[in-house]
Amino acid sequence: QVQLVESGGGLVQAGGSLRLSCVASGLPFSSYAMGWFRQALGKEREFAAGMSWNSGRTSYADSVKGRFTISRDNAKNTLYLQMNSLKPEDTAVYYCATVQSWTLAVPSGSWGQGIQVIVSS
């Protein structure tokens, strides 16, 4: 079955950086568009960033544009999210997911278990 396993979360001070990783198994990773979503406490899950199967296209939420960078290594079946200039409002559980290839922002069914990111002020 499909497994998406996130790592790299934790506690960081405002202005700091973190890099999330998501290792995929059970699917032809290099054929799938992938994305990152996040859910803050008491809020709905929201799109953060998406990338096409070949890294040729990316999409970002306005709230993270210019600070977050999505990337992937298809040889390692791994998706990344580099998060810089973190703000307290970035505090959330971050999820790796497969996404629709044409929008890059709509989930298409497979999710990781999520990983907590806490940004202190």
Segment 76-97, tens digit of pLDDT? 999 999 999 999 999 999 999 9
Look at residue 100 in the predicted model and tell me its pLDDT.
97
Residue 66 has, within 13 A of its CA and on its CB side, a CA count of: 3
The whole-number average pLDDT for the span 59-76 is: 98
The whole-number average pLDDT for the span 91-105 is: 97
Look at residue 71 in the predicted model and tell me its pLDDT.
98
pLDDT in tens, 1-47: 999 999 999 999 999 999 999 999 999 999 999 999 999 999 999 99
Residues 47, 35: contact at Cβ < 8 Å?
Answer: yes
Percent of the chain clearing pLDDT 70 (strictly above): 100
pLDDT range class, residue 72, cuts 50, 70, 90: very high
C-alpha 44/C-alpha 5 separation (Å) is 21
pLDDT range class, residue 113, cuts 50, 70, 90: very high
Type of residue found at 58: T
